[in-house]
């Protein structure tokens, strides 16, 4: 087995003075901005689609999936490139580039007046934001094996807090003309009901950029960076990230596959959940608006914080088998996914049970999967930025497939009867999460790492 080498400063007793704290804050603020759009994105796209002449329910809602896929298509093409560049240039400049991209394109999205402009802006936003992949590589740079699970959990906690704060703010800030009045009581705000949360999201990314440029240290020293001698090698490496992972170790490939399957399942739910909750009650939906959906996603975020920011950093979590925790998370999440279409508006607390299962499952799966893929990449002496870039690239591909598949199935079944109704898309999501759990049966971890 290849011998692992660790930076001398990063032993178990020596904590980096400011890297993890400021990285957590930067990622948190960035994710609050990213998740601000969740409660109103579906309604925004439906309005744009209707304005462009798509009036049939299935045809209109299909654009919701296309819009979500546009962002992740940009990520699929460019996140592996950004991950590889971070191996060569360092993590810090790539993170800051993503924050600038978010600032510009969040604000531009809020000003969208047509589907095509919105699609282009979302694609460019996804292309410029590789922050999560690079942040995970950053953690890999400064962490020993015993620290990885807890620190990956910190990034998961940032996700949880982002999902708790962002959708709540986004739901509250939507349509300020109607909800606030005052300075917002003008014709401009009336025809731009979704601009205020987009403006706040862009401002938060700008704040995060200022924090990063002032306080975020570089995690990858020059002597540890990849040197690329020719253009041919650059393009070969980028192509390898985009079109295949054959040169990665078998265990890393399986872990990336499991992550990709899970993300297809999760994004199918993410695409159609608000379509379901926004349906009138007499048609089987919940009749919720953007604000009510914001509350639900805030609850999901709270559970994520408790699991990833609390439990995953506890002594109990350190004693549990990482692989078993990953599989358990997949199965719990699948339970919540399959439960969704059977919900009713009242009592509201019942709605929180399957959403809690989804949040718990994701909270267990994400940090454990990232821990295993990091350890296996190190054991095989693979560039961590390349591996995380490949994982995020294939994850982005999954987030392209998921929304498009969800939108197509939803459009075909939303008005159906019998077995093929709006329930179908959530059943499909549940089945894929279960398949992801079984996909890792052939996984063989490096022996010293198996019980980490």
Q: What is the pLDDT of residues 343-391, one digit of tens each?
A: 988 888 899 999 999 999 988 898 888 888 888 888 877 777 778 767 8
Give the Cα separation of 179 and 199 in Å (integer).
17
Decide if 101 contacts 129 (C-beta within 8 A): yes
Averaged pLDDT for residues 425-429: 93
**37 contact partners, CB below 8 Å, separation of at least 6:** 44, 106, 109, 170, 197, 198, 201
Compute CA 94 distance to the chain's CA centroid, rounded to the nearest angstrom.
18
At residue 13, does pLDDT exceed 50?
A: no
Q: What is the pLDDT of residue 232?
A: 45
pLDDT attached to residue 361: 92
More confident call, 142 vs 206: 206
Tokens for 369?
Answer: 């999967």
**Which of 383, 399, 309 shows the shortest CA–CA distance to 91?**
383
N-term to C-term CA, the chain: 17
- Does the pLDDT at position 76 exceed 80? no
Q: Which residue has the higher pLDDT, 14 or 386?
A: 386
Higher-pLDDT residue of 227 and 414 is 414
Q: pLDDT tens across 302-336, in order?
A: 887 788 767 776 767 677 778 888 899 999 999 99
Distance CA 217, CA 262 (A): 33
Cβ contacts of 280 within 8 Å, gap of 6 or more? 287
Per the model's pLDDT, the better-predicted residue between 31 and 195 turns out to be 195
Q: Measured in whole angstroms, how far is the alpha carbon of residue 421 from the centre of its chain?
A: 28
Q: Is the pLDDT of residue 439 over 70?
A: yes
What is the pTM (predicted TM-score) of this model?
0.72
Statement: residue 153 has pLDDT above 60: yes
Please check the confidence at residue 2 and state whether its pLDDT lies above 50. Answer: no
Residue-wise pLDDT tens digits, 351-361: 999 999 999 99
Q: Determine whether 144 is exposed, middle or buried from the number of CB atoms within 10 Å of its CB (0-12, 13-18, 19+).
A: middle
- Residue 39 and residue 442: Cα distance in Å, rounded? 39
Give percent of the chain with pLDDT exceeding 70. 87
Domains annotated for the chain, with CATH where assigned, are 19-218+233-442 (1.20.1250.20)
As a whole number, the mean pLDDT across the chain is 80
| Cα distances (angstroms) measured from residue 324 to each of 235, 281, 356 | 38, 39, 20
**Res 1 pLDDT > 70:** no
For 41-67, write each residue's pLDDT tens digit: 888 888 898 888 887 877 788 888 888
pLDDT digits (tens, 9 = 90+) for 102-149: 899 989 999 998 899 999 998 998 888 767 778 878 887 877 777 776
Which pLDDT band holds residue 337 (cuts at 50, 70, 90)?
very high
Determine the pLDDT at residue 355: 92
Q: Which two tokens stand for residue 43?
A: 């309604």
Tens digits of residue pLDDT in 228-283: 444 444 445 545 554 556 677 788 888 998 999 999 999 899 888 988 988 888 88
Query: What was the pLDDT predicted at 149?
Result: 66
């Amino acid at each position: 087995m290849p011998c692992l080498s660790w930076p001398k400063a990063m032993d178990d007793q020596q904590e980096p003075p400011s890297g993890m704290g400021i990285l957590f804050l930067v990622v948190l603020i960035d994710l609050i901005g990213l998740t601000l759009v969740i409660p109103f994105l579906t309604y925004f796209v439906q309005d744009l689609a209707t304005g462009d002449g798509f009036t049939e329910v299935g045809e209109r809602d299909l654009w919701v999936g296309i819009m979500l896929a546009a962002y992740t298509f940009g990520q699929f093409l460019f996140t592996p490139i950004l991950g590889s560049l971070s191996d060569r240039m360092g993590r810090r400049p790539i993170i800051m580039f993503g924050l600038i991209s978010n600032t510009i394109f969040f604000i531009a999205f809020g000003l969208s007046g047509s589907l095509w402009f919105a699609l282009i802006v979302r694609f460019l936003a996804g292309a410029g934001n590789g922050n999560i992949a690079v942040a995970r590589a950053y953690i890999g740079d400064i962490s020993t094996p015993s620290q990885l699970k807890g620190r990956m959990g910190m990034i998961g906690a940032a996700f949880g807090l982002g999902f708790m704060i962002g959708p709540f703010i986004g739901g509250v800030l939507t349509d300020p003309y109607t909800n606030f009045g005052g300075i917002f009581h003008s014709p401009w705000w009336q025809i731009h009901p979704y601009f205020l949360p987009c403006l706040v999201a862009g401002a938060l990314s700008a704040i995060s950029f200022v924090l990063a440029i002032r306080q975020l240290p570089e995690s990858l020293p020059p002597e540890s960076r990849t040197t690329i001698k020719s253009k041919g090698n650059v393009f070969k490496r980028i192509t390898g990230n985009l079109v295949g992972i054959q040169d990665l170790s078998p265990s890393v490939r399986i872990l990336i596959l499991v992550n990709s399957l899970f993300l297809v399942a999760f994004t199918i739910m993410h695409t159609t959940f608000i379509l379901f909750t926004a349906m009138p009650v007499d048609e089987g939906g919940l009749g919720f608006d953007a604000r009510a959906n914001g509350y639900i996603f805030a609850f999901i975020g709270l559970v994520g914080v408790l699991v990833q920011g609390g439990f995953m950093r506890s002594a109990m979590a350190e004693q549990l088998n990482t692989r078993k925790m990953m599989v358990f998370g997949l199965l719990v999440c699948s339970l919540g996914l399959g439960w969704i279409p059977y919900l009713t508006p009242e009592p509201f607390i019942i709605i929180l049970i399957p959403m809690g299962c989804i949040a718990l499952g994701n909270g267990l799966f994400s940090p454990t999967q990232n821990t295993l893929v990091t350890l296996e990449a190190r054991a095989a002496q693979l560039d961590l930025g390349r591996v995380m870039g490949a994982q995020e690239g294939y994850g982005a591909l999954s987030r392209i497939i998921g929304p498009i598949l969800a939108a197509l199935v939803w459009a075909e079944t939303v008005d159906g009867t019998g077995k093929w109704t709006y329930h179908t898309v959530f059943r499909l999501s549940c089945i894929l999460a279960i398949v992801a759990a079984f996909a890792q049966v052939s996984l063989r971890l490096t022996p010293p790492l198996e019980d980490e």
